[in-house]
Structure 1
Amino acid sequence: MELRLLQALVAVADELHFGRAARRLGIAQPPLSQRIRRLEHELDVRLFERNRQGVSLTTAGAELAEQARRVIAGAEHVEKLAYNIRSGGAGTLRVGAVGSAFYQALPALLAPARERLPELSLHIREMETPQLITALLSAELDVALLRPPAGRGLRSRTVWREPLVLALPEGHPLAGEPEVHTRLLDGEPLVLFPRDSGPGYWDRVETLLRAADIALEPVAEADHVTTMLGLVALGVGLSIVPASARVLRLTGVRYVPLQPRTELPLAAVVNPETLTPAVDRFLTTLPRKPVLAGDPE
């Protein structure tokens, strides 16, 4: 059954006048009458009563016209959805991110996309940096949010920055200081990410400590910030973490700003060989200049 036949039914049902219905559809009256007769023949039911007083719907015609409105609305929705998919405004976008991005950066960065692209479904996964890069190269992810640098052949743009802070047991002598200079960390046991899991983070911390003539030799390593902070609470050592980790509020852990201030960037990374309209549309919702994060509440 052709959609135009249902459109003819709805137009005549609304207008109860073949002339006005024809003008509404932008066709002459004879073709409209032919469509109604054809529809009645296909359905084997009389849709309208025609007499000198005008046109009226039969009981069957009224019920079928209401159903036809739903079918037409559904068809229009399908057309709109197909257009949105072609233009990147609908469909599914696979986004991966490092764990520390979930504390503050990810909610803030994804909010504009959810508002501007409501029909674009975001499938979000937490992964470590090496896994994110592998997934981008194998087209298992569309966008990754990670601590740069990214892998070769990938396109990267920094969208977020936040300071590194010192996490230490609440009973530590430095826990009450308003800020701690990195030179005071000489000889302190450190709990950090392994370099294989977070090379961007590791390189920032190493540069920070090297400037204070401190060798980067952690006493323990953990793949997740929560595990690192748990080890800090146990007194295993101190840790250097993104400021957004303070939202975790672990018992027994204090956070103190570090000097000199060092910022940890977060980049949106894509594979230029697998770009889609949805990826392009999503990237337009991200900040053009990196957001400098404030203290999490």
Structure 2
Amino acid sequence: MELRQLQYFIAVAEELNFSRAAERVKITQPPLSLQIQNLEKELDIVLFYRNKRQVKLTDAGKLFYTEVCKIFNHLERAVEDAKRTQHGEIGTIRVGFVGSATYDILPSILREFRNLYSEVEVHLFEMSTPMQLEALREGEIDIGVLRPPVNDEIVHTEIVSTVPCVLAVPKQHPLLKIKNVSLSDLKTYPFVMLSRKTWSNLYDEILGLCNPIIQQEALEFQTVIGLVAAKLGIAVVPQSAVNLHTQDVVYLDLDDQLPVASMGIAWRQKDQSPLVQSFIQLARETCLF
């Protein structure tokens, strides 16, 4: 049985006239009649009552017509869905992200992505940068939102956001009495540091700048700032985190003396998925503003 035969059958079933059906499917009447006969023979079913004056569907033909129409409707949907998948309009995308991305670029990217691709399922996974790189290499996620730099032959990373860092200080801390705080003023005070496992580049930059006394380390900036609020120490954090613990923490701008905090998106270099490419382009456009 061929798809073409089913198309011929539908034409005859709807026209109930072989001449009109032949014109509709753009063949002559004898080949059309032969195709219907071959279909009936293959199925061992009489689909039509025919005589010189009329053509009628048998009861079996009526049932067969109903089911064949369902097949063609399903096929049309399948073709449409395949086209939309190819254009990145439907499907699933898996996104890994560092925790600090939730108060940085991630919410705005996801909001715009859902507005434009409402039928795409977005699966989110909170992971450290090293975990995201491993998941990308293993094909467990499609996009990473992470902290550069990244040196990897399989994974490509692009910086989409850069913000200055600020100094998080608990309220009533002695540093708040100094008019213009400099790096040299920090050396005698304990620090709460974001773990090197989470962001090695920032950790090393802070060590190089002021050789801090490290009182405590934490895996996420939210925890770091919470510990600053608890007066365990001071901390260097991205400016995007300044809305955390504002009742207990003061954020100081040290006039470009502190590092900058970059956020990047990462993907497998050979991944040409339309959904992945759409997410990348949207991240670029969203982070420009």
Specify whether residues 256 and 246 from structure 1 end up closer, same or farther in structure 2 by C-alpha distance, changes over 3 A only: closer
Specify whether residues 9 and 130 from structure 1 end up closer, same or farther in structure 2 by C-alpha distance, changes over 3 A only: same
The secondary structure found in structure 2 opposite 1:148 is coil
Specify whether residues 168 and 59 from structure 1 end up closer, same or farther in structure 2 by C-alpha distance, changes over 3 A only: farther
Shift of 1:114: 4.6
Partner Cα separation in structure 2 for residue 220 and residue 49 of structure 1:
88
Partner Cα separation in structure 2 for residue 53 and residue 243 of structure 1:
85
Specify whether residues 53 and 161 from structure 1 end up closer, same or farther in structure 2 by C-alpha distance, changes over 3 A only: farther
Q: Which residue of 221, 234, 237 maps to 1:225? A: 221
Unaligned runs of 5+ in 1: none
Q: State the Cα deviation string for residues 199-252 of structure 1 (Å, max 9, x = none).
A: 243356557xx2xxx3233311111223223322322123333344456x5585
Provide the residue aligned with 2:277 in structure 1. 281
Aligned ranges 1:138-157 → 2 under 5 Å:
138-153=138-153, 154-157=155-158
Partner Cα separation in structure 1 for residue 5 and residue 180 of structure 2:
77
Shift of 1:20: 3.9
Provide the residue aligned with 1:258 in structure 2. 253
The secondary structure found in structure 2 opposite 1:256 is strand
Shift of 1:113: 4.7
Q: State the Cα deviation string for residues 27-47 of structure 1 (Å, max 9, x = none).
A: 333333333333334444443
Which amino acid in 1 is paired with 2:190?
P
Q: State the Cα deviation string for residues 100-139 of structure 1 (Å, max 9, x = none).
A: 1133422323455555556655443221122222333444
Q: Determine if contact 1:87/1:277 at 8 Å carries over to the other structure.
A: no
Specify whether residues 9 and 165 from structure 1 end up closer, same or farther in structure 2 by C-alpha distance, changes over 3 A only: farther
Matched, 1:25 2:20: no
Specify whether residues 52 and 182 from structure 1 end up closer, same or farther in structure 2 by C-alpha distance, changes over 3 A only: farther
Provide the residue aligned with 1:237 in structure 2. 233
Shift of 1:49: 4.2
Which amino acid in 2 is paired with 1:12?
V
Unaligned runs of 5+ in 2: none
**TM-score, with normalisation over the residues of structure 1?**
0.73
Provide the residue aligned with 2:267 in structure 1. 270
Q: State the Cα deviation string for residues 133-192 of structure 1 (Å, max 9, x = none).
A: 233344444332211110242422112234434444455577899x98554645343222
The structure that has the greater radius of gyration is: 2
Partner Cα separation in structure 1 for residue 21 and residue 252 of structure 2:
72
Which amino acid in 1 is paired with 2:264?
A
Q: Determine if contact 2:190/2:212 at 8 Å carries over to the other structure.
A: no
Q: Which residue of 194, 211, 225 maps to 1:215? A: 211
**TM-score, with normalisation over the residues of structure 2?**
0.75
Partner Cα separation in structure 2 for residue 168 and residue 55 of structure 1:
89
Which amino acid in 2 is paired with 1:159?
V
Aligned ranges 1:188-199 → 2 under 5 Å:
188-199=189-200
Provide the residue aligned with 1:187 in structure 2. 188
Specify whether residues 74 and 221 from structure 1 end up closer, same or farther in structure 2 by C-alpha distance, changes over 3 A only: same
Specify whether residues 22 and 152 from structure 1 end up closer, same or farther in structure 2 by C-alpha distance, changes over 3 A only: same
Partner Cα separation in structure 1 for residue 18 and residue 205 of structure 2:
75
Partner Cα separation in structure 1 for residue 177 and residue 47 of structure 2:
84
Percent identity reads 34
Q: Determine if contact 1:229/1:253 at 8 Å carries over to the other structure.
A: no
Specify whether residues 41 and 201 from structure 1 end up closer, same or farther in structure 2 by C-alpha distance, changes over 3 A only: farther
Which amino acid in 1 is paired with 2:251?
V
Q: State the Cα deviation string for residues 3-59 of structure 1 (Å, max 9, x = none).
A: 333333333344444344334434333333333333334444443444566544444
Which amino acid in 2 is paired with 1:231?
L
Q: Superposition RMSD on alpha carbons, in Å?
A: 3.9
The secondary structure found in structure 1 opposite 2:232 is coil
Q: Determine if contact 1:165/1:243 at 8 Å carries over to the other structure.
A: yes
Provide the residue aligned with 1:75 in structure 2. 75
Partner Cα separation in structure 1 for residue 90 and residue 288 of structure 2:
30
